[in-house]
Structure 1
Amino acid sequence: MVQGGISTGRSSLLKSEDWWAVWLGGLAFLLGLGQLLGWDLLGWVVKSNVWVSLTKALEPQSKAYGFMPGWVSLIVTYLFFLVTSSIGATFMGWNLKKFIGGFTVIFVLAYGSWLLGSYAHIAATKNTLGNLNINWSLGLTPEAGFIIALIVGLLIGNFWTGLARYLEEAAKPELYIKTGIVILGATLGIKALGSMNLASTVIVRGLCAIVEAYLIYWPVVYFVSRKWFKMTPEWSAPLASGISICGVAAAIATGGAIRSRPQIPIILSSVIIVFVAVELLFLPWLAESILYNQPMVAGAWMGLAVKSDGGAVASGAITEALITAKALAVNGVKWEPGWILTVTTVTKVFIDIFIGIWAFILAVVWSVFRIDKKSSGEKGGKVSAGEIWERFPKFVIGYACTFLILLLIGLAAPHLTKEATSAANQANGLRGIYFTLTFFSIGLITNVRKLWAEGMGKIVLVYAVCLFGFILWVGLLISWIFYNGIMPPVITG
């Protein structure tokens, strides 16, 4: 039996979705590590660019596979996903014939959604319009593909129920998202490694962001959603993580840790992506207006306020372009490029690194205090160490391992940092596809009317109240406290 995404009554390491997320994510990670030995084992994985012409949308990740047309790379990637997922399906006792047929349709529709979300007029941020030779874009970043995949899944699941039933054997959002998060650990390990080479001042102040995101933002958002809007812990905890920490990954990791239904963190993540797009429309220009004399404050503010990695980095890049131009025009000061964006990135990285630790803490708290049982009216009672382990999300172990392995490789053998970075980037290409499969699958199994009745309609209001009520301004205050007066190097001559 499976409850809230955590396998119960199954002791085998080969019969649990939670463990198969570790094995599949670990496989992608290990294949990526071939780079350390000079083996390019994942360069064939398809990559979708932000595109204007569809003929230039797809290509292999590695130049070593440049001979391979993009559509061939896509087919090979599909076969890799199909074979590896089918092996897991076999061990978990799923109907293999139905799984293969359903997975094929889901992959085509999900990746098609991601491809559409990468269309330049949908995805391009304002700092990239010139390079793409376009005049306008919605600026949603390629993460718009997640929203499109969710919408397509919702339409099929709620209006084409016959097709939805055919696909349901392969609609496994828990497996897909947890596998993606295992791979995500490698990416964050590389980011952390890179941060260690930055100026110590920036690193120390980046660490301070952890205190704000986890000990200030999180409890306040949780309190507001629970007390003011009467949302259940199942909704409030992933919402607090998504708004406070790092959008998609944090909301889903939290959902797994507290055993929420998988639909909940995905719905929350979709709202977060939309709000990230809203922030990109005005926050960099607000920073330019009030902080052009405090560039590092502005960079940190973007990292603390914008709740997705892609959105935060994009906002940091736009902010740097706006502020450096204004400082040169108004004050005649030309700052060395890259520092504002570096502060944004470091701040975001240090927040992201602790997603796994936070998921572990919440898993223990929810187990010890039986929060999910109390909120559903069940009786509490003494909890055993065995139950804590049973409830603990195993994918967090995979996340921690991929993170630590790449971090330790970089520390022990700095000359391999370039290869380790390439390994993480290639594995991360698979992670993006796993996330897209998740959003589509969630839409497919979601009953919109039921979720709306349970609280989905309150999410936008809670987010707006928290974001504009205190998150932006507390983030600005903290950024000012730690970065006020610190300037990038000036270019002279």
Structure 2
Amino acid sequence: MSQKTGLTEDKVALLVGASVFILAFCNVFGLDLLGWVVKPNIWTSLDKVLSPATAAYKALPGIASLCITYVALTGVLTLGVKLLGADTKEFFKAFTIVFFVTFICYAAGHYAQIAATPDTLKKFNIPWSLGLTGEAGFIIALLAGIFVGNFMPGTADKLKAACRPEMFVKIAIVIMGSELGVKAADAMGLASSIIFRGLCAIVEAYLIYWAVVYYVSRKYFKFSREWAAPLASGISICGVSAAIATGGAIRARPVVPIMVSSLVVVFTCVEMVILPFVAQWWLTGEPMVAGGWMGLAVKSDGGAIASGAIADALIRAKALSDYGIKYQEGWIVMVTTTVKIFIDVFIGIWSFILAYIWCTKFERCPGQRMRFSEVWNRFPRFVLGYILTFLILLVLCANSAEGMKLGKNMVGALNALRVIFFSLTFFTIGVVSNFKKLWEEGIGRLAAVYVVCLFGFIIWVGLFISWLFFSGVKPPLAS
């Protein structure tokens, strides 16, 4: 905490995220103030890599968009660091390197033969692809950061001033709320029964998932509550976001959610490569079950929705070739998205519940009265920002078609910023992840818990629950 201002990274993240959201909200008044933000495209030629986030700035060259984004983020984050009482000069020098290395890694993950999904191969005129989507850039950023942190210790020390993964991911989560608000409003206009089934599915799955992972971590792997709670949330809800929020609610040391987050990214990549193809072969007759399964089993937003999109393409192709059934495109991934939205919304609720439990059960002295202010003080402020941006966009988009159009315009630039902050998170997680120290902290046992829980029961319980709620529900046929 800054001694000068009383601010924490949590509050600075809320301040930055809210400021970005306000700029984006100016779209309501016809002002696109963030469309210049750079976004990488899936590419086969270097001249196609960069572009501005929205069509309003399509005349702006991609390299100019990148430079403007760098200047804007550097200015805003340097101000945030100043409010925290840190050395702004050291941050500026380190962040310049961190930003460009991170963005190169993220853009590299968009190379077509890494990122293109099976349904887009013809578009890029390529015979094959790993099909990992652009989120492969997160993996590359993480690996690059790990290389720097473990094999270039001198460089890692110089970059340390800009390595603030918790602040970066908290800003991203505040921004993400608006994107989910638009998606939720969009889903409200679709099949209400699917939305209801999705809500029931995640409540049932989550109450099972979290409790079992927490129990296994404590009972069989002997982790403390500080480790078991973020690990249970990271495996159970939506990975990085949930682990960070839970760590804040129980006031865990920063290393705890950081280590859990790094594991989530790696295992998400593994699931994306395997599960859609398993769904194609075993769930072609139950396509909506496959969509729900992707949402319940794959532990990152982008990874889950990408898995749903891949499964959508693969199952529709197999249903057409084997049975002559032509399903409408998009319904399978819509189920995945709906389930994932409810899982994400649950982050704020669960953070508050955990903050209450830790205050009343684990950290209260005998005879001491529990005050609501104690729960409020430890409730992660960035989660409050996440909830507010979600609700504002949900109300805006649900009211009218024009509101939905405005919302989608807003989240174009916001999504571009969100993935930049996520990329910065993963690169800096890697830089601060000295494996010798992490091994001493117990990362090997963390990975063991993840493997046992994910492949031992989470994937299969998720499949059963998805089958329970979505079996027999079919997408409409294409005309």
- Aligning the two structures, in what range does the TM-score lie when normalised by the shorter sequence? over 0.9
Distance 1:423 1:140 in 2: 26
Q: In structure 2, which of residues 394, 417, 438 is the aligned counterpart of residue 451 of structure 1? A: 438
Q: In structure 1, which of residues 470, 473, 491 is the aligned counterpart of residue 457 of structure 2? A: 470
Once the two structures are superposed, the pairs formed by residues 184-263 of structure 1 within 5 Å of their partners are: 184-263=176-255
Residue of structure 1 equivalent to 2:138: 146
Question: CA contact under 8 A between 1:209 and 1:350: conserved in structure 2?
Answer: no
Residue of structure 1 equivalent to 2:377: 390
- For residue 379 of structure 1, report the CA deviation from its aligned partner: 9.9
Residue of structure 2 equivalent to 1:168: 160
Residue of structure 1 equivalent to 2:281: 289
Please give the per-residue CA displacement for 1:104-133, whole angstroms capped at 9, x wherever unaligned.
Answer: 121122222212222233333333333222
Runs (5+) with no aligned partner, structure 1: none
- For residue 383 of structure 1, report the CA deviation from its aligned partner: 4.7
Q: What SS class does the counterpart of residue 313 from structure 1 fall into?
A: helix
Question: CA contact under 8 A between 2:10 and 2:170: conserved in structure 1?
Answer: yes
Structure 1 residues 309 and 427 mapped into 2: Cα distance closer, same or farther (>3 Å)? same
Q: What SS class does the counterpart of residue 354 from structure 1 fall into?
A: helix
- For residue 386 of structure 1, report the CA deviation from its aligned partner: 3.5
Structure 1 residues 391 and 57 mapped into 2: Cα distance closer, same or farther (>3 Å)? same
Q: In structure 2, which of residues 38, 48, 67 is the aligned counterpart of residue 75 of structure 1? A: 67
Distance 1:107 1:83 in 2: 13
- The more displaced of 181-190 and 119-128 is 119-128
Distance 2:357 2:209 in 1: 18
Q: In structure 2, which of residues 408, 418, 424 is the aligned counterpart of residue 421 of structure 1? A: 408
Residue of structure 1 equivalent to 2:10: 18
Which amino acid is 2:461 matched to? V
Please give the per-residue CA displacement for 1:3-47, whole angstroms capped at 9, x wherever unaligned.
Answer: xxxx8xx6956x322211111101111111121111111110000
- For residue 96 of structure 1, report the CA deviation from its aligned partner: 1.9
Question: CA contact under 8 A between 1:213 and 1:351: conserved in structure 2?
Answer: no
Please give the per-residue CA displacement for 1:401-423, whole angstroms capped at 9, x wherever unaligned.
Answer: 11111112223444211111221
Question: CA contact under 8 A between 1:370 and 1:380: conserved in structure 2?
Answer: no
Distance 2:353 2:264 in 1: 23
Residue of structure 1 equivalent to 2:109: 117
Distance 2:147 2:248 in 1: 25
Q: In structure 2, which of residues 77, 86, 94 is the aligned counterpart of residue 102 of structure 1? A: 94
The count of aligned residue pairs is 479
Residue of structure 2 equivalent to 1:343: 335
Residue of structure 1 equivalent to 2:477: 490
Distance 1:412 1:265 in 2: 38
Q: In structure 2, which of residues 363, 383, 395 is the aligned counterpart of residue 408 of structure 1? A: 395
Please give the per-residue CA displacement for 1:301-337, whole angstroms capped at 9, x wherever unaligned.
Answer: 2221222222222222222223223333333332222
Q: In structure 1, which of residues 311, 315, 318 is the aligned counterpart of residue 310 of structure 2? A: 318
Please give the per-residue CA displacement for 1:221-242, whole angstroms capped at 9, x wherever unaligned.
Answer: 1111221222222322222222
Question: CA contact under 8 A between 2:182 and 2:394: conserved in structure 1?
Answer: yes
Q: What SS class does the counterpart of residue 51 from structure 2 fall into?
A: strand
| Residue 453 of structure 2 corresponds to residue 461 of structure 1 | no
Which amino acid is 1:445 matched to? V
- For residue 433 of structure 1, report the CA deviation from its aligned partner: 1.2
- For residue 468 of structure 1, report the CA deviation from its aligned partner: 2.0
- For residue 381 of structure 1, report the CA deviation from its aligned partner: 6.1
| Residue 35 of structure 2 corresponds to residue 48 of structure 1 | no
Structure 1 residues 105 and 37 mapped into 2: Cα distance closer, same or farther (>3 Å)? same
TM norm structure 1: 0.90
Residue of structure 1 equivalent to 2:149: 157
- For residue 427 of structure 1, report the CA deviation from its aligned partner: 1.2
- For residue 213 of structure 1, report the CA deviation from its aligned partner: 3.5
Distance 1:290 1:159 in 2: 44
Structure 1 residues 335 and 444 mapped into 2: Cα distance closer, same or farther (>3 Å)? closer
Which amino acid is 1:146 matched to? F
- For residue 201 of structure 1, report the CA deviation from its aligned partner: 1.0
Runs (5+) with no aligned partner, structure 2: none
Q: In structure 1, which of residues 61, 79, 82 is the aligned counterpart of residue 53 of structure 2? A: 61
- The more displaced of 69-78 and 441-450 is 441-450
Distance 1:162 1:299 in 2: 46
- The more displaced of 25-34 and 291-300 is 291-300
- For residue 71 of structure 1, report the CA deviation from its aligned partner: 1.0
Distance 2:331 2:472 in 1: 14
Which amino acid is 2:74 matched to? L
Question: CA contact under 8 A between 2:286 and 2:472: conserved in structure 1?
Answer: yes
Distance 1:139 1:313 in 2: 13
| Residue 314 of structure 2 corresponds to residue 327 of structure 1 | no
Which amino acid is 1:291 matched to? L
Distance 1:70 1:491 in 2: 38
Once the two structures are superposed, the pairs formed by residues 79-90 of structure 1 within 5 Å of their partners are: 79-90=71-82
Q: CA RMSD in A?
A: 2.4
Structure 1 residues 102 and 280 mapped into 2: Cα distance closer, same or farther (>3 Å)? closer
Q: What SS class does the counterpart of residue 169 from structure 1 fall into?
A: helix
Please give the per-residue CA displacement for 1:50-89, whole angstroms capped at 9, x wherever unaligned.
Answer: 2222221111111221221111111100000011112222
Once the two structures are superposed, the pairs formed by residues 1-40 of structure 1 within 5 Å of their partners are: 2=1, 12=5, 15-40=7-32
TM norm structure 2: 0.93
Which amino acid is 1:115 matched to? A
Which amino acid is 1:461 matched to? A
Distance 2:66 2:449 in 1: 39
Which amino acid is 2:107 matched to? L
| Residue 386 of structure 2 corresponds to residue 399 of structure 1 | yes
Q: What SS class does the counterpart of residue 389 from structure 2 fall into?
A: helix
Which amino acid is 2:27 matched to? Q
Residue of structure 2 equivalent to 1:273: 265
| Residue 167 of structure 2 corresponds to residue 182 of structure 1 | no
Distance 1:267 1:48 in 2: 27
Distance 1:243 1:380 in 2: 35
Q: What SS class does the counterpart of residue 47 from structure 1 fall into?
A: strand
Question: CA contact under 8 A between 1:287 and 1:319: conserved in structure 2?
Answer: yes
Question: CA contact under 8 A between 2:352 and 2:375: conserved in structure 1?
Answer: no
Residue of structure 2 equivalent to 1:442: 429
Percent identity, aligned pairs only? 53
Question: CA contact under 8 A between 2:248 and 2:378: conserved in structure 1?
Answer: no
